[in-house]
Structure formats: structure tokens, C-alpha cells
């Protein structure tokens, strides 16, 4: 979706506005609304939540990645085109090396957002850790220790993902072993 929505790099430039509007639509509808519609259609469980998160993430990442793609230096792409490289080769060799650190950074940030979203969606009946959290909070006073443990695990998961994100970014951008 990102390459199709990128002005100057899209394989089919006439479809750039369409790809941008699809990305806008996916991004504009909150995960919870998508999940509730899908729960009505597909029934409860984790499948509607996963699809809802995937749709919203596709919109958000499509927008972020297309913005990153539009800021690349086009000289390597033009150089590859001058020696006969096809569109895929120009993107793979001329664009991806420039945008890979940003792709990784935004991808890991979105992973953190999706972890939180999965907990919220589970809380409203889509299954998963949020469902367990809701059960721990609603089935009486004796379950508050379970609820606290679930909150702590969610927090720890987000902290670990953030640390891994920092290490991966440093390795990719600076070649460091942070």
C-alpha cells in the first residue's frame, strides 16, 4: 500500500490517489469499531480482533511509509533506471536501503500500539489478554492480584519491545551493538 501511495515511486502513478484514500479509510476507522463490526459478522473470538488490528495497521503504516518514501534521494533510483533496472530493482536497491531504518522504527512502534490495542479489544469481547483482564476484574475481589499481574505483564512486554526496538535501530543505522 505504501509504494502504491508514494508520489514519484509508484509503479502505476494514476492509482496513487486511490491508494492514499484506501490508506486514509483504513486509518480513520478505529480498531474498536472495525472489531465490533467484524464481531457482528464473524462472531466473537480473536479472529475479528486480529483482522481489525491488521486493517488499521495497514492504513497507518501505508501513510507513514509513503511519507518516508517520498523523502528519499532519487539519484540512486535514477542511476539504476539509467542502467536498465526494472521497477522492483530500483525500489529494492535504490529506495529500501535509504528507508529501512525508518521502516523498522515505525514497524516496532506499531507493534507496541498493536499490543495495547489487542488488550483493549480483548476487554470488549474479542478474546486474548484483554478478555482475561476483564474476567479478572469482574469476577470478584479475589482476582485483583491476577488483574495486577496482567497489567504488569502488558507493561513489561511493551518495555521489552521498546528496548529491542532501540537495539535494532542502532544496529541498522550505526552498526553498533547497543
Does the structure show a pLDDT above 50 at 178?
no
DSSP state of 11: S
Biggest distance spanned by C-alpha atoms of the chain: 71
Does the structure show a pLDDT above 50 at 27?
yes
Identify the top-confidence range among 50-54, 120-124, 139-143, 164-168: 50-54
| pLDDT, mean over the chain | 84
Does the structure show a pLDDT above 80 at 174?
no
Residue 103 inside a domain? The answer is yes
Q: How many CB atoms neighbour CB 117 within 10 A? A: 22
Sign, Cα dihedral of 7, 11, 17, 20: negative
Question: Once rounded to an integer, what is the mean pLDDT over residues 92-115?
Answer: 88
CATH number for the domain spanning 20: value is 1.10.3720.10
Does the structure show a pLDDT above 50 at 121?
yes
Residue 2 inside a domain? The answer is no
Question: Minimal CA–CA distance to 172: which of 115, 80, 112, 108?
Answer: 108
Structural domain that includes position 19: 13-174
Amino acid at each position: 500500500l505504501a509504494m502504491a501511495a508514494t508520489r514519484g515511486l509508484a509503479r502505476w502513478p494514476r492509482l496513487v490517489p486511490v491508494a492514499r484514500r484506501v490508506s486514509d479509510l483504513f486509518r480513520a476507522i478505529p480498531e474498536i469499531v472495525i472489531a465490533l463490526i467484524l464481531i457482528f459478522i464473524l462472531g466473537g473470538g480473536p479472529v475479528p480482533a486480529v483482522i481489525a488490528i491488521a486493517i488499521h495497521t495497514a492504513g497507518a503504516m501505508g501513510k507513514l511509509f509513503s511519507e518516508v518514501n517520498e523523502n528519499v534521494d532519487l539519484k540512486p533510483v535514477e542511476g539504476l533506471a539509467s542502467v536498465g533496472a526494472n521497477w522492483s530493482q530500483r525500489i529494492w536497491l535504490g529506495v529500501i536501503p535509504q528507508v529501512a531504518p525508518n521502516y523498522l522504527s515505525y514497524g516496532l512502534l506499531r507493534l507496541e500500539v498493536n499490543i495495547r490495542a489487542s488488550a483493549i479489544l480483548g476487554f470488549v469481547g474479542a478474546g486474548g489478554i484483554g478478555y482475561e483482564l476483564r474476567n479478572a476484574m469482574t469476577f470478584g475481589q479475589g482476582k485483583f492480584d491476577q488483574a495486577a499481574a496482567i497489567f504488569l505483564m502488558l507493561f513489561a512486554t511493551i518495555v521489552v519491545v521498546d528496548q529491542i526496538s532501540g537495539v535494532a535501530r542502532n544496529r541498522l543505522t550505526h552498526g553498533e551493538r547497543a
